[in-house]
Amino acid sequence: MLGRAKEYLKFGVGRPPGTIWFMEKAYFDLRRNYPGRQEYAYLRLALQSRYPDKTDEQIQQLTSDCSNLDDAIVKAVALDFGHPVAVRVRMDVLWNLPFCSRCGKYRSLSMADPLCYGCRNYPGFAACVRCHLYWDDYPVFCQVCGGKLWRITDGDGVPIIPVA
């Protein structure tokens, strides 16, 4: 925990990595707090939490171009630091980061961990979208209705772009 805090203070405060890490944290915290929603809802709420001063129309316009977490991160970096920095972040940073070693769907955005934020902080999280019950201990099925559980990394994730 202290290592990540030092990493944030050294590389993140007022810099593009800080925006990247904030967006990743907000995205996965929202996935945990509101399980089973569509991807658009998480992206919209993550951008809204980053920019509370923007109107609903502005947030909708920002989110309309986003299809995954990488797109939302690039939008946030573009708003904070400009379009040229956002292009460099996408090309030089995001595309070169490895995918999570556990789920393989999201990028490992930490310099110290091979896991995405969801696998690092909520590894056993599961939720039943019918009963609205939550567990943190790797259950296989809902203990009440027996239905399939929703995991924090369920969904498409970030598409893996093959390097030519």
Q: Is the dihedral of CA 39, 64, 158, 117 positive or negative?
A: negative
Nearest to 39 by CA among 155, 164, 135, 159: 155
Domain membership of residue 152 (yes or no) is no
88-109 burial, b if ≥16 CB within 10 A, otherwise e? ebbeebbeebebbebbebbbbb
* 163, part of any domain: no
Q: Would residue 46 count as lying in a domain?
A: yes
pLDDT, one tens digit for every residue, the chain (164 residues) = 455 545 444 444 556 888 888 999 999 999 999 998 999 999 999 999 999 999 999 999 999 989 999 999 999 999 988 999 899 989 888 888 899 999 899 999 877 789 999 999 998 899 998 888 888 888 888 888 888 898 998 888 887 765 54
Q: Based on the structure, what is the number of domains in the chain?
A: 1
Q: What is the pLDDT of residue 156?
A: 80
Residue 55 lies in a domain: yes
pTM: 0.86
Domain for residue 31, yes or no? yes
Beta bridge partners of 134: 127
15 domain-assigned: yes
Domain membership of residue 137 (yes or no) is: no
Dihedral, CA of residue 121, residue 126, residue 128 and residue 134, to nearest 10: -60
Residue-range definition of the domain harbouring residue 95: 2-119
For residue 53, give both structure tokens.
């001063």
Is 17 part of a structural domain of the chain? yes
